A = this chain, B = another copy of it.
Amino acid sequence: MSIESLVSRARHICEVNGARFTSIREKVFRLLADTHGGIGAYELLDQLKQTEPAAKPATIYRALDFLTEQGFIHKIESSNAFLLCHHFEEHHPAQLLICDRCNHVEELHSTPLQQEFQRLASEKGFLIQRQTIEAHGICQSCLKKEANG
C-alpha cells in the first residue's frame, strides 16, 4: 500500500467527516506512514521539526489526537508509541503483536477474542468502553533469523 494512496484515502475520509486535513496533520500522517512499527511522540517531533522548525510537543500531540479521532492511528499503550493503521475505513479495536527485536507490529482483528473479553467483563457487571490488547515477543521473521543464524 503506497503512502500516496494512504494519504488520499485519509484526505477523503476527512472531507466526508468535515474535518480539515491540514498541512501539519498530513506531515505527521506521512511520518507515521514512513515508519516501520511504532514511533514515540518525541521522535516524531524531531522528524517533524525538519520541515516544521517551530513544532513543539503540543504540535505533535494535537496532530496525534486528531489522527486518533479520525481512526487513522493506534496508540501502543505498553510502549507509549503510535502506529499508523492501514485499514482505517472503519474504526475498529485491534490486538497488537509487537516484536521487541525488530520493532515490527502486527495488527490482529479477532472478533472472538474481543467478544470473549467482553463476555468475561459482563459476568462481572463491567461495561467495557475501550480495550487494550497487546503482546510483546518475537515475530516470525526474527525467529527464523535466529534459527538460521
- Residues of A at the B interface (CB closer than 8 Å) are 77-78, 95, 97, 99-100, 106, 108, 110, 112-113, 116-117, 120-121, 124-140, 143
Is B135 a contact of A130 with CB atoms below 8 Å? yes
Count of identical protomers in the assembly: 2
**How far is it, in angstroms, between the C-alpha of A129 and the C-alpha of B133 when the chains are bound?**
14
**How far is it, in angstroms, between the C-alpha of A87 and the C-alpha of B120 when the chains are bound?**
19
Is B138 a contact of A127 with CB atoms below 8 Å? yes
**How far is it, in angstroms, between the C-alpha of A124 and the C-alpha of B105 when the chains are bound?**
12
Q: Which residues of the other chain, B, contact A126 by a CB distance below 8 angstroms?
A: 97, 99, 106, 135, 137-140
Nearest CB to that of A97 among chain B residues? B126
**Shortest distance between the CB of A37 and any CB in chain B (Å):** 14
Is B137 a contact of A134 with CB atoms below 8 Å? no
**Shortest distance between the CB of A128 and any CB in chain B (Å):** 4
Is B124 a contact of A106 with CB atoms below 8 Å? yes
Of the candidates B121, B129, B133, the one whose C-beta lies within 8 Å of that of A100 is B129
Is B78 a contact of A132 with CB atoms below 8 Å? yes
Is A135 a contact of B108 with CB atoms below 8 Å? no
Of the candidates B95, B127, B134, B138, the one whose C-beta lies within 8 Å of that of A120 is B95
**Shortest distance between the CB of A49 and any CB in chain B (Å):** 26
**How far is it, in angstroms, between the C-alpha of A126 and the C-alpha of B143 when the chains are bound?**
8
Of the candidates B128, B136, B140, the one whose C-beta lies within 8 Å of that of A124 is B140
Is A137 a contact of B127 with CB atoms below 8 Å? yes
Ranked 8 nearest A-B pairs via Cβ: A125-B140, A129-B137, A128-B137, A77-B78, A128-B135, A132-B134, A130-B136, A77-B77
